[in-house]
Amino acid sequence: MRSTLVIVLVSLVACSRPADNAAAPAYGVNPQIKMNGPLIDAKMTMVAAWEFPKNPINDKTLDSSKLSEEIKRGFRLFTNTPGEAPDLVGGQMSCTNCHLNGGQRERSMPLVAVPGMFPEYNRRSARLFSLVDRVVDCFLRSENATGKGVKAEELPARPEVLAIAAYLTWLSKGAAIGVQPAWRGKNAIDAAALVPVEKFDLAKGEAIYTERCVTCHAADGQGVKIGDKIAGPLWGPDSWNDGAGAARVYTLAGMFKYSMPYLDPGRLSDEDAQHVAAYIDSKPRPAYPGKDKDYVVEKLPVDAVYYTRPQANAPSSVRGTH
Ligand code: HEC
Ligand code: HEC
């Protein structure tokens, strides 16, 4: 199964290479890749997984200045986080595993023009967050930096964090400040389609996972190598920790609902996406030590299944006992 998948993908990618006489594509992507503005179209399949519409490594507008070098470093960090920042990543997640195509894919939590929206109020911490604060939070939680004993206060000044902020800001060159990008916030399940927390069906989630996800993510959730690409671990010690956004079932469902399964993106129903997300978030993962400082002012969301405090409306079976 695995070798078949690799062959299919490699041939798809090979025949999508541009012809020599093809018109110069916008944003440096080959013309076979459908774009929506600066982003890879949400309907593109995994053939587009290797594309970066804006790629600082080969962008001719960047020179050899310190800033240009840091933008390039930020891109390398974003696309190979465990390899480039080994002492800040307590597992195997790369930013690009969740923010696909280097943060340049539609409905995959794209980050183009998002820097212009910061500082912004952060509900979990109940204070204003700068772009750097937001990147730090993704390190602490999605990247499980706390698993490496990294102290939150040290992170804002770390060159790795600043380099990623430089890359994200460069991606957003020319975007208006304070204007919500049209593609932001499109990774949520519609409120009307939310399954109540007590109705999450883990057995159903597991069955859908086995049918639709296992070829690429593997039975143990650790990912299958496809060419030089491997998805990040969906659970276990190398995955995101239990204080991450992805550790919330509705957030996780919205995260992959529009991009997975990667050969048929958007195919899962809203309901099925939530059962699979509940299954993934029922699995063990590293503990975030700062959970008691989250949602102190704002209400604890009902889908924050790993928090031990009682949630409004949540039955005891989902109070962080997974
Ligand atoms: C496990 C998946 C995952 C990984 C890995 C991850 N993120 Fe995120 N990121 C998220 C989720 C979920 C959100 C919140 C989206 C939401 O609020 O709806 C988010 C939000 C963000 C935002 C704010 C986006 C916005 O529109 O407000 C930034 C910036 C960001 N991440 C940067 C990063 C960086 C940099 C890395 C790597 C150091 C990273 N992320 C790694 C899942 C991830
Ligand atoms: C054809 C292969 C393929 C299939 C099928 C697939 N995925 Fe993925 N998935 C990937 C790849 C590859 C990535 C990482 C993308 C990257 O880094 O560019 C990914 C990323 C993810 C992520 C982001 C976090 C992480 O650990 O990388 C989640 C969550 C996810 N997939 C869930 C699912 C679910 C749920 C299904 C089934 C409904 C599914 N995927 C089916 C290939 C696949």
Q: What is the pLDDT of residue 188?
A: 97
According to CATH, what is the number of the domain 191-318?
Answer: 1.10.760.10
Ligand 1 atom closest to Cα of 139?
Answer: 38
Q: Please, which pLDDT band fits residue 30 given cuts at 50, 70 and 90?
A: confident
Q: Which of 13, 100, 213, 224 to mutate to test the pocket of ligand 2 (most atoms within 8 A of CB)?
A: 213
- CA within 13 Å, CB half, 316: 0
Residues 249-304: pLDDT tens digits?
999 999 999 999 999 999 999 999 999 999 999 999 999 999 999 999 999 999 99
The finding on whether 239 has its CB within 6 A of some atom of ligand 1 is no
Number of neighbours of residue 94 by Cβ within 10 angstroms = 23
The finding on whether 142 has its CB within 6 A of some atom of ligand 1 is yes
Residues 81-98: pLDDT tens digits?
999 999 999 999 999 999
Q: What is the pLDDT of residue 84?
A: 98
Cα(292) to centroid(ligand 2), Å: 30
Q: Is the pLDDT of residue 23 over 50?
A: no
Q: Is the pLDDT of residue 319 over 80?
A: no
Residue range 2-171 forms a domain whose CATH class is mainly alpha
* 2-171 matches 191-318 in fold: yes
Nearest CA to ligand 2 atom 32: 256
Q: Please, which pLDDT band fits residue 27 given cuts at 50, 70 and 90?
A: low
Residue 232 per-residue DSSP state: P
Residues 6+ apart with CB under 8 A from 299: 312
Work out the average pLDDT over 207-236. Answer: 97
* CA-angle at 93, arms to 90 and 96, nearest 5°: 145
Work out the average pLDDT over 299-318. Answer: 69
Query: Considering the chain, what percentage of its residues have pLDDT values greater than 70?
Result: 87
Question: Which one has a higher pLDDT value, 313 or 260?
Answer: 260
Nearest CA to ligand 1 atom 12: 245
Q: What is the pLDDT of residue 306?
A: 87
The region of weakest confidence among 69-73, 125-129, 317-321 is 317-321
Every domain of the chain and the residues it spans: 2-171, 191-318
Work out the average pLDDT over 35-46. Answer: 97
Indicate the average pLDDT of the chain: 90
Q: What is the pLDDT of residue 154?
A: 96
Q: Is the pLDDT of residue 18 over 80?
A: no
Residues 168-219: pLDDT tens digits?
999 999 999 999 999 999 999 999 999 999 999 999 999 999 999 999 999 9
Say if residue 284 is preceded by a cis peptide, omega within 30 of 0.
no
Q: Please, which pLDDT band fits residue 20 given cuts at 50, 70 and 90?
A: very low
Secondary element (H or E) of residue 124: none
Contact 279, 205 (CB under 8 A): yes
Sole residue written with tokens 């990774």: 187
